[in-house]
Amino acid sequence: MRKTPQGLKLGFPGQLCKGKREYSRVSPVDLKKNHPYLCRQKRNTVENDIEPMHTLIQPLKKLFPRRSAVITIEVEAPSSANREPVYITGNHPVLGNWAPGRVALNRDDNGHWSGKFPLPRGYLLEFKITRGDWASEATDQSGRPYRNYTYKVRGDDHIRVVVHGWKDRRRNRGAAGNAPPGAGSGQIIIHPRMTALGLAPRDVIVWLPPGYKRTKKRRYPVLYMHDGQNLFDPATSYTGITWRVGETLSRLIAEKQVKEVIVVGVYNTEQRLEEYSCSDLGTRYRRFVAEQLKEFIDNEYRTLADRRNTAVMGSSMGGLVSFLTAWEHSQTFYQAACLSPTFIYDRSRAIKYLRISPPPAFPIRIYLDCGGRGGEKRLYRGCKRVIRYLRRKGFMEGSGYMFRYFKDHEHSEHAWASRLHISLRFMFGVDEGKG
């Protein structure tokens, strides 16, 4: 027996419905007065006249609601942004699910920006501040993007954030002629705002290997990578941590562990989830990479344009879209590297698609890996399901696919950077027989 906040004595729901002894432990007067939905009192109760359980539970939910907390987030931004909208984005739908230009803040009389957001108690909130896209996210005094702000919701609260600068307005930190951050011994070229029919404009960053400038006639394999802003420069990575692609490839090439390869990094947009998944927009994005972008790169640079020398790579949702790109465009891509792929996204839609789809028209090789901490545990189960279907479709471990498990790795750029060399050796190792 327990008491409600109103002082009404109630048993557990199972004690409220027992045939003729119905409501025997509850005062009918109090029930009728305070809980008309629970009561539905019948003076001549019949033996089997039992109230359905859902009609009993719903009033209890109203009696003991799970309250949300209202979090007010106030942003003090640089004066240069006073006339431009400031946005917040984070890991909850009310914050736009990491879409950088979806949730605008309101400017007050003091020139600050703020918003009120209802969030469930106990929720671990992560968020960032932008001016509408990832190219203009907030930075610290040194010009580096802030790491995700984190806050555990315990009740109504007011959070104040001070922004020192913006990524697209950071000062040039290197002298003229210096290599861009993250280039290693290679060269970086940026193609801004490339467009495709039905897709948002995006930057494309190209990394050329050390020998590209020295040997004018040599041609190179090409690796296409998604989430291009996270590959080289910490100032453009949304976490401030990169994959260290330039440094890693420079080291592996110097040690003669991998071939020299051109890397094409495709920036994401605020439609990232749709573009990287089994959706109509995703189909359009994959066609853009396989056809329009590849044609541009082959015409602009000295590439080995055949499928045996073309690969695609990404992590998380980028790992998912890399798998789908190679699977659907095997005439273009021979290999795919999928780090922590989110095969379980959208109720495992990609896995269901894989189960019913025929094998690729041309043979492909696939690298898969996953960590074992946090959300990686769920992604690991998705990888195991995909491997089962690959085997059923004739893929052999070693020649057709490789899977690596890292039990101490979490879902982060730092983890992917630490194991990047494994996938690069799988695809471009100097001793790798491609048959």
Are 207 and 246 a contacting pair, CB within 8 Å? yes
Number of neighbours of residue 413 by Cβ within 10 angstroms:
21
Higher pLDDT, 339 or 143: 339
Domain termination residue (choose one: 122, 138, 168): 168
How far apart are alpha carbons 340 and 319 in whole angstroms?
7
Rounded Cα distance between 212 and 12, Å, is: 75
Residue 182 lies in a domain: no
Same domain, 161 and 209: no
β-pair type (222-226, 310-315): parallel
Residue type at position 44: N
Question: Which residues are CB-neighbours of 131 under 8 A, at least 6 positions away?
Answer: 81, 84, 85, 86, 87, 137, 166, 168
- Which residue range(s) make up the domain with 34? 2-52
**pLDDT category of residue 435 using cuts at 50, 70 and 90:** very low
What is residue 142's predicted lDDT score, i.e. its pLDDT? 66
In terms of domains, do 91 and 209 share one? no
Least confident of 131-135, 149-153, 418-422, 431-435: 431-435
Most confidently modeled range among 50-59, 63-72, 80-89, 180-189 = 180-189
Task: Looking at the structure, tell me whether residues 248 and 367 fall in a common domain.
Answer: yes
Angle at 111 between CA 109 and CA 115, to 5 degrees: 85
Alpha helices in 264-406 (DSSP H): 272-275, 280-287, 294-300, 317-328, 345-356, 376-392
316/228 Cα distance (integer angstroms): 13
Contact assessment for residue 373 and residue 408, using Cβ atoms and an 8 Å cutoff: yes
Say if strands 68-76 and 157-162 run parallel, antiparallel, or are unpaired.
Answer: parallel
* Residues 95-106, mean pLDDT to the nearest whole number: 92
- Neighbour-count burial of 172, counting CB atoms closer than 10 A to its CB (0-12 exposed, 13-18 middle, 19+ buried): exposed
Please indicate, yes or no, whether residues 41 and 72 belong to a single structural domain of this protein. Answer: no
Q: How many residues does the chain have?
A: 435
Within a domain: 271: yes
What pLDDT is recorded for position 237?
85
Do 212 and 91 share a structural domain?
A: no
Q: What is the mean pLDDT of residues 156-184?
A: 71
CB atoms within 10 A of CB 321: 30
Query: Last residue of some domain: 168, 198, 222?
Result: 168
Return the pLDDT at 146.
Answer: 83
pLDDT band at 314 (very low <50, low <70, confident <90, very high): very high
Is 174 within a domain?
Answer: no
Cα 112 to chain centroid distance, Å, stands at: 30
pLDDT tens-digit map of 191-217: 988 988 899 999 999 999 999 999 889
Q: Residue 41 — very low, low, confident or very high, per pLDDT cuts 50/70/90?
A: very low
**411 vs 71: CA distance, rounded Å:** 27
Q: Are residues 99 and 164 in the same domain?
A: yes
pLDDT at 36 over 70: no
Of 190, 413, 386, which Cα lies nearest the Cα of 300?
190
For the residues 263-275, what does the mean pLDDT come to?
Answer: 95
Is 74 a residue whose pLDDT tops 80? yes
Q: Could you tell me the pLDDT band of residue 313, with boundaries at 50, 70 and 90?
A: very high
Q: Is residue 176 part of a domain?
A: no
| CA–CA gap between residue 404 and residue 370 (Å, rounded) | 7
Residue recorded with tokens 């690729």: 360
Domain identity same for 75 and 48: no
Higher-pLDDT residue of 325 and 196 is: 325
Share of the chain above pLDDT 90, in %: 65
Residue 60, domain member (yes or no):
no
Instruction: Give pLDDT, residue 78.
Output: 75
Q: How confident is residue 15, by pLDDT bands cut at 50, 70 and 90? A: very low
Q: Is the pLDDT of residue 300 over 90?
A: yes
Q: Are 205 and 242 found together in one domain?
A: yes
Q: Examine the fold and report which residue of 135, 168, 201 is the final residue of a domain before the chain moves on.
A: 168
- The mean per-residue pLDDT over the stretch 219-244 comes to 92
Q: Domain with 84 in it: what CATH number?
A: 2.60.40.10
Does any domain span residue 173? no
Task: Say yes or no: 283 and 160 in one domain.
Answer: no
pLDDT range class, residue 166, cuts 50, 70, 90: confident
Asked, for residue 61, whether it belongs to a domain, the answer is no
Who wins on pLDDT, 35 or 121?
121
> What pLDDT is stored for residue 108 in this prediction?
86
| Contact by Cβ (8 Å): 91, 150 | no
Q: What is the mean pLDDT of the chain?
A: 84
249 and 309 in a single domain? The answer is: yes
Q: Are residues 138 and 228 in the same domain?
A: no
Q: Are 136 and 220 contained in the same domain?
A: no
Nearest to 174 by CA among 165, 183, 163: 183
pLDDT at 136: 86
Torsion, CA 15, CA 17, CA 18, CA 21, rounded to 10? 90
Residue bearing the bigger pLDDT, 413 or 174: 413
* The pLDDT of residue 240: 81
- What's the CATH number where 256 sits? 3.40.50.1820
Q: Of 47-56, 87-96, 179-188, give the range with the top mean pLDDT.
A: 87-96
3-state helix, strand, coil in the chain (%, to 5): 30, 25, 40
For residue 296, give both structure tokens: 């541009």
Residue 411 has pLDDT above 50, yes or no: yes
Please count the structural domains in the chain.
Answer: 3
Range in 17-21, 133-137, 355-359 the model is least confident about: 17-21
* Mean pLDDT on 378-399: 96
**Confidence band of 244 (pLDDT split at 50, 70, 90):** very high
Tokens of 221: 């394999």
pLDDT band at 52 (very low <50, low <70, confident <90, very high): low
Q: Which letter does DSSP use for residue 94 in this model? A: G
pLDDT of residue 317: 97
Does residue 58 lie in a domain region? no
